[in-house]
Amino acid sequence: TARKTATMASLSLIVGSFEELAKLLNSRNGRGCKTDLRLDVFCEACSLVSVLFNCLGLAFKFARMEYVTKVQNLVEASKAYDNLHDILDMDIANDTVKAPGSHSRNLRRVRQGLDLVRALFEQFLSTNDYSLKEAASTAYAQVCAPYHSWTVRAAVSAGMYTLPTREQLLLRLNETDQSAGKKMRRFINASVPVIEYIDELFISRNIKLNW
Ligand code: 1PZ
């Protein structure tokens, strides 16, 4: 039952934390300027998302590791840098924005993970006739596949066959079709401004998003 308790309110927790981020981004500071997003606050929300991966089965252990390691790297960075834009400015100064393992690169990858979950939820909600495999395959093709090597795409595509069914996923999340639907819709609405904010950090510094 420890596992059950751990995943019990997980979707609600994830949704709540992203709604907080979206609210922060919509607010103005004392000088009427847009609010900066703090790295530690962002990382906390991103860490919660990894719980979802526990529901996807063993084949996605690698994907989970991949995501968690990158969030952890940003948690480390948050000890030295306050806001998301600080790591970009630092990497620009050092010419390490796209360098393997750099904070900015990890931010770009974590953003991809969030967008993947958003796209998966969109697909999940679009029709009840979709299997989780179909929904996840479409989401992956939209968000990540264009940036992944042939080898990674082949591994992901093989892993898709091991995904649980829609019903199994809902059970593991301790949700019904209806309750999950509402929360997924809320996650989509809250994550879009966060994802757009991250994209704008890169674009406003003349960094293209084609990687
Ligand atoms: C909830 C979504 C379920 C749908 C299932 C889709 C499975 C996606 C599997 C992704 C496998 C990632 C393989 C590793 C790719 C890396 O090569 C790249 C580049 O890393 P770098 O060279 O910078 O070190 N990494 C990425 O593109 C990060 C992608 C993050 C996606 C992880 C999924 C996050 C999901 C969040 C948790 C539910």
Instruction: Going from the first residue of the chain to its last (211 residues), give the mean pLDDT of each consecutive group of 10, the final group possibly shorter.
Output: 57 97 89 88 96 86 93 98 98 98 98 98 92 96 98 96 95 95 98 98 97 96
- Closest protein CA for atom 16 of ligand 1: 148
Amino acid at residue number 144: C
- The set of residues, in sequence order, having a beta carbon less than 8 Å from that of 201 and lying 6+ positions away, is 84, 85, 88
Q: What is the pLDDT of residue 6?
A: 52
Ligand 1 pocket by Cβ (under 6 Å): 49-50, 52-53, 56, 60, 63, 66-67, 100, 105, 109, 112-113, 116-117, 120, 136, 139-140, 144, 147-148, 152, 156
Q: Which domains, from first to last, does the chain contain?
A: 2-203 (1.10.3520.10)
Coil/strand/helix, residue 83: strand
Measure 148 CA to ligand 1 centroid, in angstroms.
9
Euclidean distance between CA atoms 211 and 196, whole angstroms: 16
Measure 57 CA to ligand 1 centroid, in angstroms.
15
State residue 28 phi and psi, 5-degree precision.
-115, 150
> Residues 15-27, buried b or exposed e (16+ Cβ, 10 A)?
bbbbbebbebbee
Q: What is the pLDDT of residue 36?
A: 92
Whole-complex ipTM: 0.90
Q: What is the pLDDT of residue 21?
A: 98
- Closest protein CA for atom 37 of ligand 1: 50
- Closest protein CA for atom 27 of ligand 1: 109
Are 118 and 184 in contact, with CB atoms under 8 Å apart?
Answer: no
- Closest protein CA for atom 1 of ligand 1: 117
Are 34 and 55 in contact, with CB atoms under 8 Å apart?
Answer: no
Are 87 and 196 in contact, with CB atoms under 8 Å apart?
Answer: no
Q: What is the pLDDT of residue 9?
A: 67
Measure 110 CA to ligand 1 centroid, in angstroms.
8
Give the closest residue to 128 by CA, choosing from 164, 184, 167: 167
Q: What is the pLDDT of residue 3?
A: 54
Q: What is the pLDDT of residue 29?
A: 76
